[in-house]
Amino acid sequence: MWSSAIWRRFIRPERGLCFRRDFSSTIFVSRLSHYTSDEDFENMFSRFGRVEEARLIRDARTKRPKGFGFVTYASDAEAEKAIKSMDGRIHGGRLIFVEYAKSGSQEDKA
């Protein structure tokens, strides 16, 4: 029998099993060069589909890119194609990682 702690941690009655994956059309790109421009970032991912938004995260004080960003595609299939093609590639002399963006909702953090 499962203890109540295990039950709450791995099986949430309100959400079902935690092994479910909700796919998103937004991807997270990390380990980018700090010299990556907005245009370069968008062009790097536009060949995989229609990019709705390409956003580099910048330092508030220096306005330089922090080395990561988000790309939103029109469909989940385009996002998956970009992840499979770009994850683990070298761009601008840096090995970049690409994955699905995690949602920021409180439900996922519980």
* CB 93 within 8 Å of CB 33: yes
Report whether pLDDT(11) > 50.
Answer: no
Q: What is the pLDDT of residues 37-68, one digit of tens each?
A: 999 999 999 999 999 999 999 999 999 999 99
pTM of the prediction? 0.74
